[in-house]
């Protein structure tokens, strides 16, 4: 063999060893996506790259490689970080590799993300793909983990993101109309879409080039609002489909919530449930692009959450009824239809596709949140929380669901299911792949009563609102209402100012930082002020360069006004489109108002004290994220548009709306860079007489980074409303003074029955958000700078740094729970499938179980952190569990009378355990 041939073989062997192959063929049929001729059912979840941080503070071991192309077009092997647990020193839970690995460990095969136009092109034709905006790096990081990518280019994204992801300059393009048959809009949309596609092609990231991207999306949920645009909307959606397919990416395109998506675009479903969805052609697979694992949080709103039993029920029902692709939003996981694909990522093993929205929600840093009134936290009650920590039991229960689905993959991908009614609200669907491979789903869709059914001659217990999965059409591997996964209880622990000692309660000792301050001038203070007759709409005036717009006007008051003589007061009335407003008379705050997520408008009516002569009215109007959803959402305005009146002057009502007002965009402190983005001397900050509970104050303090790897947050419960920066980077808007309504919450939520965003709520009567995530990667070991801009008044001495630490581990299983899923891995363990197992594992590799706080086998009561013994309890439970688990990082105990004895015959017994873990 010639030397060139030897080297070619050698390189091919290396490529095979590293999991590298050549281009992939991705297509679809009515049953699934098809990857390289094979139907696949995949599991996917959403991770929005700018809502977390890519930086790695510690060193990784570099051992994985992937094939990429240099600018000259030469294929080269490039190293990427190892993502194997324990192979590196990084433990930062906010970083992309860590989040992606946790998603993979949870059973995901695909990561889905939007592409955020306003993030990448903040100024027309000026692009930014650095830091958290490095889309190529994110896609390559996903690929390095051995996962596929679903790239939702949009470029309209919704996503509770500011202005739906559109850049504000787009609003000012002459003649433009968003999301309709409008040439200026189509020109810009096509230009940006092509920019992203070409960027991915240059890096060989589409599956057709050997990359990880197997799906792309154009537009987003347009079908929900297209009727408002009339015939022009239909022309637009047809154009968008043609424009997308003409990009020649070599992978299928989808449109979600678009029933009339033209061929070959796949129309998909978004929602809490999609089992009844049907694609618009029998040649297209049934796909679920957004399964909402929770709901977003709004300032002034209660905190929503969704029970994992209901999520698992929805996903299982979707596959039971012929689904093939499901995506969790926010980064929950996602399942998808079978796909035909040839890929260079030969170590990819997924055979089915599920996508869950979200698997990880993250944080709306800076001014990225939309709404308006979307909070800074975008936790979304996702399987991975805002801080990058696995949320149990949600993550574990869904992982078990995904494993169960994959046990059925050959049968699911082979054919459509056959349906059998087992009684009222009782259904069975069976899939077959030849004579030997069979999978079945048994469902009780009733919301009241558990049922016992007979299927294939065997008896099965089905809790209400649940699905059982039988990978062999006989044995139950999973039931959506029976959770085998452990529960982890985390606590927010206060860190003292020196970061050398800790206290157990967040409320005991305030953080003793040394503060300095500068007042923000009331009213007009910048040289770029301007005057206009009448009241200006805010978004058109500021172009969203700042949340703030000052309106200023002087009026003269005669000394003989009746309210000056008789001691009454004039009444100031202000009408605003929102979102928040502070009114000052002669430099004094006289009133504030705010809208809410349901109605952004503000009406402020307040009595004021005026003086003879000149009086200055200063109105500070504030936006809290721009509208991101709805027909013509881009036309939703903000700011003081009137009327503005004084009642009682000259015994009349005087309308000031059409007077000549003076305007100022933004704050003086923003211009000076007080948020840390300037070299302004510390001598200009005052360290004496720190004002508290006063409006318009800039505060600054220095701090050292806390030791360890635990996630860090700021507890801003002592403040009112404003924004916070760490080392010049905005951690987002804060508003702890805006509490949720007192009613509407409950201590628990019944998972049975259809879920909606108002069903399961908590945190009533409390600040909607009090804790604000500070990424460790934004901090240096010493001398970090914290800056706050406080609008309405607060006390910086009441600010806490807190870290998120493990409280305890719990689990509760009954004798009727399914056995562990790894019992299905080999025939040798078939006999173990009838024995449930309680399993506990410390989240960190350097933690062990130090003590058993509670253990009871019988009829225990309560929930994690509040267990108690029932009327029946084994006397040996505590000693036995202690012997097995104490000192170990993980342990497992069989849940049966063979293990503990039988304390009450004829009763289905449960084992409940709570354990404490410590670092070693």
- Residues marked active site are found at 221, 290
The CA distance from 757 to 292, in Å, is: 10
The CA distance from 318 to 579, in Å, is: 40
The conformational region for residue 753 under phi > 0 = left, psi -120 to 50 = alpha, else beta, is left
Contacts of 598 (CB under 8 A, 6+ apart): none
Q: Which of 151, 282, 268, 168 has its CA nearest to residue 214?
A: 151
- Written as one string, the DSSP assignment of 713-755 is EEE-TT--SEEEEETTEEEEEE-TT-BPPSSS--S----SS--
- Written as one string, the DSSP assignment of 484-503 is -S-EEEEEEEEE-TTSS-B-
Q: Which of 628, 574, 583, 567 has its CA nearest to residue 601?
A: 574
- Written as one string, the DSSP assignment of 849-872 is EEEEEEEEEES-BS-TTS-B--S-
Place of tokens 């800790």: 502
Q: In DSSP terms, which residues pair with 8 in a beta bridge?
A: none
Enter the tokens of residue 172: 């000012």
Three-class secondary structure assignment of 465-478: CEEEEECCCCCCCE
3-class secondary structure, 905 = coil
Give the H or E element holding residue 803. strand 800-814
Q: Which of 547, 546, 518 has its CA nearest to residue 697?
A: 518
Residue 781: CB atoms within 10 Å: 9
Is residue 691 within 8 Å of residue 789, measured between CB atoms? Answer: no
- Residue 96 Cα distances to 81, 206, 747, angstroms: 11, 20, 34
Q: Which of 441, 433, 395, 346 has its CA nearest to residue 103?
A: 395
Query: Where are the extended beta strands (E) located within 609-696?
Result: 613-622, 644-649, 652-655, 660-665
């Amino acid at each position: 063999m010639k030397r060139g041939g030897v080297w070619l073989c050698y390189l091919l062997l290396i490529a095979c060893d590293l999991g590298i192959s050549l281009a992939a063929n991705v297509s679809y049929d009515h049953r699934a996506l098809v990857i390289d001729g094979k139907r696949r059912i995949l599991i996917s979840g959403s991770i929005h790259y700018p809502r977390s941080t890519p930086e790695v503070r510690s060193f990784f071991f570099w051992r994985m490689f992937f094939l990429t192309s240099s600018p000259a077009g030469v294929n080269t092997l490039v190293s990427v970080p190892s993502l194997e647990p324990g192979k590196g020193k990084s433990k930062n839970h906010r970083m992309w590799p860590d989040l992606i690995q946790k998603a993979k460990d949870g059973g995901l095969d695909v990561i889905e993300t939007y592409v955020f136009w306003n993030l990448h092109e903040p100024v027309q034709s000026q692009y930014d793909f650095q830091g958290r905006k490095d889309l190529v790096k994110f896609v390559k990081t996903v690929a390095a983990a051995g996962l596929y990518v679903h790239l939702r280019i949009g470029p309209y994204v919704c996503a509770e993101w500011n202005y739906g992801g559109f850049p504000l300059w787009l609003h000012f393009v002459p003649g433009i109309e968003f999301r309709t048959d409008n040439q200026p809009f189509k020109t810009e949309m096509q230009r940006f879409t092509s920019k992203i596609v070409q960027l991915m092609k240059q890096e060989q990231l589409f599956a057709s080039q050997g990359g990880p991207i197997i799906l792309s999306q154009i537009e987003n949920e347009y079908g929900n609002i297209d009727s408002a645009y009339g015939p022009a909307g239909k022309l637009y959606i047809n154009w968008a489909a043609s424009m997308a397919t003409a990009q020649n990416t070599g992978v299928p395109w989808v449109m979600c919530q678009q029933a009339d998506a033209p061929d070959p675009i796949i129309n998909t479903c978004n929602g809490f449930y999609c089992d009844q969805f049907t694609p618009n052609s029998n040649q297209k697979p049934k796909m679920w692009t957004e399964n909402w694992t929770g709901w977003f949080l709004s300032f002034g709103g209660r905190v929503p959450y969704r029970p994992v039993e209901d999520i698992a029920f929805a996903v299982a029902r979707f596959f039971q009824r012929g689904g093939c692709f499901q995506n969790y939003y926010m980064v929950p996981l996602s399942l998808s239809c079978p796909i035909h694909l040839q890929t260079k990522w030969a170590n990819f093993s997924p055979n089915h596709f599920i996508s869950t929205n979200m698997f990880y929600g993250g944080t709306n840093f800076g001014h990225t949140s939309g709404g308006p009134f979307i909070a800074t936290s975008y936790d979304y009650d996702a399987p991975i929380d805002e801080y990058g920590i696995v949320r149990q039991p949600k993550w574990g229960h869904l992982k078990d669901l995904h494993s169960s689905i994959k046990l059925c993959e050959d049968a699911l991908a082979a054919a459509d299911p056959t349906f059998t009614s087992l009684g009222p609200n009782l259904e069975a669907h069976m899939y077959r792949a030849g004579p030997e491979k069979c999978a079945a789903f048994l469902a009780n869709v009733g919301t009241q009563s558990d049922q016992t059914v007979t299927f294939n001659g065997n008896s099965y217990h089905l809790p209400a609102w649940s699905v059982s999965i039988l990978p062999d059409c006989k044995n139950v591997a999973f039931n959506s209402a029976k959770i085998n996964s452990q529960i982890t209880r985390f606590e927010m622990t206060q860190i003292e100012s020196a970061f050398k000692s800790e206290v157990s309660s967040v409320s005991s000792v305030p953080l003793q930082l040394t503060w300095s301050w500068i007042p923000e001038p009331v009213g007009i203070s910048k040289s770029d002020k301007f005057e206009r007759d009448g009241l200006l709409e805010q978004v058109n005036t500021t172009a969203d360069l700042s949340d703030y717009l000052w309106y200023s006007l002087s009026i003269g008051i005669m000394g003989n006004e009746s309210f000056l003589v008789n001691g009454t007061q004039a009444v100031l009335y202000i009408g605003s489109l929102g979102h928040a407003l502070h009114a000052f008379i002669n430099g004094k705050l006289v009133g504030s108002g705010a809208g809410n997520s349901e109605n952004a408008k503000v009406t402020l009516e307040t009595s004021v004290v005026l003086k003879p002569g000149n009086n200055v009215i200063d109105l500070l109007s504030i936006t809290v994220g721009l509208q991101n959803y709805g027909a013509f959402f881009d036309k939703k305005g903000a700011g003081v548009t009137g009327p503005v009146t004084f009642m009682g002057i000259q015994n009349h009502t005087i309308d000031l709306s059409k007077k000549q007002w003076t305007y100022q965009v933004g704050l003086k402190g923003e211009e000076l860079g007080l948020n840390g983005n300037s070299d302004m001397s510390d001598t200009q900050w005052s360290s004496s007489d720190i004002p508290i509970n006063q409006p318009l104050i800039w505060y600054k303090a220095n701090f050292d980074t806390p030791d360890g790897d635990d996630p860090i947050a700021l507890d801003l419960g002592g403040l009112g409303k404003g924004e916070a920066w760490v080392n010049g980077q905005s951690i987002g808007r804060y508003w702890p003074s805006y509490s949720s309504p007192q009613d509407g919450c409950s201590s628990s939520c019944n998972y049975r029955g259809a879920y909606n965003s108002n069903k399961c709520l908590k945190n009533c009567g409390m600040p909607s958000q009090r804790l604000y995530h500070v990424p460790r990667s934004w901090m240096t070991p010493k001398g970090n700078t914290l800056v706050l801009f406080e609008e309405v008044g607060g006390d910086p001495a009441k600010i806490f740094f807190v870290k998120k630490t493990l409280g305890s581990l719990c689990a509760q299983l009954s004798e009727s729970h399914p056995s562990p899923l790894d019992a299905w891995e080999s025939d040798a363990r078939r006999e173990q499938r009838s024995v449930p197992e309680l399993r506990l594992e410390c989240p960190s590799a350097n933690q062990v179980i130090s003590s058993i706080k509670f253990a009871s086998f019988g009829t225990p009561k309560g929930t994690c952190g509040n267990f108690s013994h029932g009327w029946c309890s084994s006397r040996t439970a505590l000693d036995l569990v202690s012997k097995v688990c104490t000192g170990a990082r993980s342990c497992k105990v069989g849940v049966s009378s063979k293990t503990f004895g039988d304390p009450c015959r004829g009763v289905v017994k449960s084992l409940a355990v709570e354990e404490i873990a410590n670092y070693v």
